[in-house]
Chain A
Amino acid sequence: MLRYIGKRLLNYVVLLYVAVSLTYFLAATQLNPRALFALRQPPIPPQIVEAQLRQYNLSDQVPLLERYWIWLTGVFHGDWGYSPLGVSVAEQISTRMWVSLRLLLIGTLAGILIGVAVGAWTATRQYMPSDRTITALSLLIISTPAFVVGTVTQMMAISVNNATGSRFFEFIGETGDVGNYPLADLVDRAQHLLLPTLVLILLGATSMSRIQRNLMLDSLGADFVRTARAKGLRQSKAVMKHALRTALIPTGTYLAYSVATMFVGATFTERIFSFPGIGQYGVDTITNRDVNGVVAVTAFAGVCVLVGGILSDIMVAILDPRVRLA
């Protein structure tokens, strides 16, 4: 068994290596960091631009493969390079990672849990008014891009703030003006987290509830639920113990996957609520023609995806005896 897991891990590493290398070639040829210096006033002498680009291994006058090799040897020594303006990429990622985690952990987990509950509940009430209402609502939310949900939430929060004359809802950054009372720091952070977390819960719960509802509908019609009923179990117990338990197997894999990939999943929310997290960083690196930054973010994302894949395999094995014992 260990040999096969090892083989699979090796395949993952190769996959990641190829994907990241391709990203490097793409970014290095498309982003053109030299353009950053072109419009400066007063103009910067070309030699100085060239020197700075060379310093950070970004000059398009150096052959691509040579740049790639320098970058690759750096990576093997833990050096992910610098932005054209000289900011360390690795430092950025390691600090922003925790910002993302603080922002996303509660929202992601709560979103999935609420989504599972809502999805399972609506499935048992298929075609009843409650199911129809929630299904229609979920169609609306699933069709609304995160950047619209975020902006609308902000607009509503401001009108509430204005109407009540308070500043209860905070929507810029991680912290703001910290008051002078016990635990003020914590309260302030919670206030800033409230809105983005609500947005994340809404979006996460909606998509999860749709998935869970469908899984549950499949499992409700299964023969073994009928067997459970034929044994004398009440509908609710047959559903909870047999249908839901079986329908949770794919959900478990999804959960494992989402937790691993959540760091890179909330670009829009981070942007709107000005959280300097990984997603926001990814966008900034592209805007700022930061080749090394782009590659590092995608590599980070790739690692998350692969860890998510492994975690979900483990989760299936935990939840499904057929996989565990076969």
Chain B
Amino acid sequence: MSELVVAEATIKPQRRLTRGQLIWRRFLRNKTAVFGAAGIIFLVLLALLGPHLLYWKFDDIDTGAFLAPPDSAHLLGTTQAGRDVLALTVRGLSKSLLIGFLVALMSTSIAALVGASAAYLGGWYERAMLWIIDLLLVIPSFFLIAVASRGAPEGDASWLILVVLLAAFAWPLSARVVRSMTLSIREREYVLAAKFMGLSAFRIIVRHILPNASSLLIIDAALGVGYAILSETGLSYFGFGVQAPDTSLGTLIGEGSTMATTFPWIFLGPATVLVFLVMCVNAVGDGLRDALDPSSASGGRA
């Protein structure tokens, strides 16, 4: 026995890159993704610091300048009501950012729990969950959220209701993906081993299944941010999302697009910021997907 022990023990585990290092390296090599990450950091800083640095507040009304084109006083011009477009854009950006990240976090969490538990527990619970998912997917969520938000109480917290509504309809597709991933993880030998050692189902899901689905969850959350921002701005564009006096990029674009041909600055400022934001988020999402899961190019939303 002694020889057996010594021989293998003296061989050091092979020196190779850890998974984290590999992912980091792959991500850094993706220039688009790095650009996107830098862009997001810039936008977050803008949203945080902008209101303190800018002269105009978003709800100030400059009675001397209605529909003024960009000049030194109003860098991006003013609206019909004499509000500064730059200040409004920064305000809208922070709302859109906040909503995007919150919705993605919530919907991915729901998807993870529902998807993993459905697949692992199986039986009637799984069938019930799948049925609910189908139900949520049958009807265009856009209309339902719009309807629900019309009846929602108005006030400062109304955007939080919007977050909940968006998250409530965003998780089903991801939950399906998590479920099918869990179905394969469930058959892996380390999960079987855990089961045969006497671990409870909950512990197996939390400790062995979800961490091993984390790549998928991270990718899903990252791409979900872009999806959530687009949903929110789309609703706001029609006036169903963020309500006045608060504003979002969608509200601004909706307001601006009706006059886009004559007063383009109201539209162009927020539209550029929105496109840039979503592009950065999607670039990071794509980059994370390539870095975390190089084998399957087709996972996640396109």
Contact = CB atoms under 8 A, between A and B. Distances in A.
Interface stretch (A50-58, A104-112, A134-142): A134-142
Majority SS at the chain B contact face: helix
Interface in B246-277: 250, 253-254, 257, 260-261, 264, 267, 271, 274-275
Contact of B261 (A155, A264, A289): A155
A145 B134 CA distance: 26
A261 B71 CA distance: 46
B78 interface: no
A215 B142 contact: no
Contacts of B238: 271, 283, 286-287
Contacts of B49: none
Contacts of B279: 139-140, 143-144
B278 interface: yes
Interface in B64-101: none
B146 A139 contact: no
B147 A218 contact: no
Interface stretch (A18-26, A89-97, A186-194): A18-26
Given A139-B286, A142-B282, A210-B302, A267 B142 contact: yes
Contact of B32 (A20, A136, A289, A302): A136
Given A151-B257, A217-B297, A145 B274 contact: yes
B138 A282 contact: no
Given A23-B139, A267-B142, A298-B144, A272 B278 contact: no
A93 to B, nearest CB: 14
Among B147, B267, B279, chain A packs the most CB atoms within 10 A around the CB of: B147
B226 interface: yes
A267 B131 CA distance: 27
A158 B261 contact: yes
Contact of A151 (B152, B234, B267, B278): B267
B21 interface: no
A264 B139 CA distance: 11
Contact of A15 (B134, B237, B274): B134
Nearest to A209: B302
Interface stretch (A29-37, A73-81, A238-246): A29-37
A30 B257 contact: no
A298 B140 contact: yes
Nearest to A215: B298
B140 A144 contact: no
Nearest to A283: B238
Contacts of A148: 253, 271, 274-275
Contact of B144 (A26, A145, A214): A26
Contacts of B286: 139
Given A23-B139, A287-B239, A294 B298 contact: no
A297 interface: yes
A145 B147 contact: no
B268 to A, nearest CB: 9
A268 interface: yes
B143 interface: yes
A124 interface: no
Nearest to B237: A147
A32 B151 contact: yes
Among B143, B226, B254, B275, chain A packs the most CB atoms within 10 A around the CB of: B143
Contacts of A140: 275, 279
A214 B151 contact: no
A268 B138 CA distance: 20
Interface string A118-156: 000000000000000000100110111111100110110
A64 interface: no
A210 B301 CA distance: 10
B118 interface: no
B150 A286 contact: yes
A145 B32 CA distance: 20
B147 A294 contact: yes
B302 A211 contact: yes
Among B32, B131, B297, chain A packs the most CB atoms within 10 A around the CB of: B297
Contacts of B147: 23, 26-27, 30-31, 286, 294
A291 to B, nearest CB: 9
Nearest to B36: A139
Interface in A268-302: 268, 271-272, 282-283, 286-287, 289, 294, 297-298, 301-302
A214 B233 CA distance: 28
A106 to B, nearest CB: 22
Contact of A302 (B138, B152, B274, B302): B138
Identify the 7 closest CB pairs spanning chains A and B, nearest first.
A30-B151, A214-B298, A143-B279, A143-B278, A211-B302, A214-B297, A210-B302
Interface of A: 15-16, 18-20, 22-23, 26-27, 29-32, 136, 139-140, 142-148, 151-152, 154-155, 158, 207, 210-211, 213-215, 217-218, 264, 267-268, 271-272, 282-283, 286-287, 289, 294, 297-298, 301-302, 305-306
18 contacts: A15-B135, A19-B139, A22-B135, A31-B147, A142-B302, A143-B226, A145-B230, A145-B233, A145-B278, A146-B234, A147-B257, A154-B260, A211-B302, A264-B140, A287-B239, A298-B140, A301-B140, A305-B137
Given A218-B298, A297-B143, 12 more contacts: A20-B139, A23-B144, A26-B147, A30-B148, A139-B286, A140-B275, A145-B230, A145-B253, A145-B274, A148-B275, A214-B297, A218-B296
